[in-house]
Structures are given as structure tokens and as C-alpha cells.
Structure 1
Amino acid sequence: MFVRIVKMTFQEEKIEEFLSRFEKNRNKIRNSEGCRFLELYRDKKNPNIFFTYSYWESELYLEQYRNSDLFKSVWANVKPLFDAKPEAWSVDKVYSSEPIFV
């Protein structure tokens, strides 16, 4: 299993449109074969920057998703909303601890 991190910077006036599109598609993405986890984060200092964190069973499943009609449709609709080129990393988790909620 590995983690995929994608950083996306949006035009300020397009943020609500992105959030609406994410809400519409998040369960479909999460239920893609091999996807085990999906979260969306927003930068605290720059609200135009978002990150997706997703866990994939293998790179094969991520590539299957990236070649799917779902990804092509989602990406085609989100790409015009960007204010900067997105960045992506595939990483292996080295350490994890249980969250502590107070």
C-alpha cells in the first residue's frame, strides 16, 4: 500500500465550484478498485491550496483509476479551475500513530 498526495491551487473564484465537484465525485473516487482511503485538506494560510491524500493497494490500481473514464471526466472538469500546475507525489508510509482527540 502507498499514499498518493496531490497539491492543487485554485483560482479564488473557482473554489466553491471545486468543492461542489469534489463532493459529487468523492465517493466514486473512494470506491475505485484498490483505493482504501481518501481525504481532502485545505491549507490554513493559503485557502486556495488543497491536498488530496489517498491510499492505494498498489500502483497498478492508481494507474487503472488514472486511465478510467471517471478520472478523465473529473480531471477535465477540475483542470480549468487551477491557478497553478498541480503537483503529485507517491510515497510509502514510514510511520503512523493513532490520532489523539481531546
Structure 2
Amino acid sequence: MVIRIVELHIHRDRLEKAQLLLAEVAPNVRKMDGCSHLNILEGLNNNAHITTYSYWKSEDHLNAYRQSNVFKTFWGEIKPLFAMPARAWSSYSLHYLP
């Protein structure tokens, strides 16, 4: 399993728009082939700091999503709302650890 973590910092005056975009895209991401989980988190003390966690069956599934119209449309709409560039990374889940 691949876990994709994306950290977004949104301009405060654009936060409501970003929240609407995230709420709109979330069901579509969850329906993508290979996506088994998506969680969207707001910072406890800074709700303009948003982190997404998504679980993918494989890197190929994640890459297919990143090439999809769902992603391209969403990214094109949310990117102008950023206060700083997004940070993202992917990791493999180590199921054998306690």
C-alpha cells in the first residue's frame, strides 16, 4: 500500500473556497480505482493548514489518479489559493511493524 501525504497552506481569505473544493473533490477521489482511503485534516490551531492522507493499492494507481481529470481540474482550482507551495510525499506502509 502507498500512502500519499499532501500539506497545503491556504490564504486565510480563500479558506472557505478551498474547503468547498476539498469537499467537492473528496467523493471523486475516494471512487478512483485503487484508492482505499482519503482523510482531509485541518490544523488544530491553524485551519488554513490542511493535510490530506490517501491510501492507494499501488504507485501505479496513485499515478493514474495524478494524471486524471479529477486531479488536474481540482489542482488547477485550488493551487491559486495557496499561501505557499504545497509539499507532498509518498510512503509505503510497513504492515509488519507492531
TM-score, reference length from structure 2: 0.92
Structure 2 gap ranges (5+)? none
Amino acid at match of 1:84: M
Q: Say if 2:89 is the partner of 1:89.
A: yes
Amino acid at match of 2:93: K
Partner of 1:11: 11
Amino acid at match of 1:26: A
Partner of 1:45: 45
Aligned length: 97
Partner of 1:61: 61
Partner of 1:100: none
Amino acid at match of 1:34: G
Q: CA deviation at 1:93?
A: 2.6
Please identify which structure carries the higher strand content. Answer: 2
Q: CA deviation at 1:54?
A: 0.3
Structure 1 gap ranges (5+)? 98-102
Identity across the alignment (%): 32
Partner of 2:21: 21
Deviation above 4 Å: which 4+ runs of structure 1?
none
SS, match of residue 32 in structure 2: coil
TM-score, reference length from structure 1: 0.88
Instruction: Give CA-to-partner distance per residue, 1:13-50, whole Å, 9 cap, x none.
Output: 11110111111111001111110000001111322110
Amino acid at match of 2:9: T
- Distance in structure 2 (CA, Å) of the matches to 1:37 and 1:86: 20
- Distance in structure 1 (CA, Å) of the matches to 2:43 and 2:21: 19
SS, match of residue 90 in structure 2: strand
Q: CA deviation at 1:92?
A: 2.2
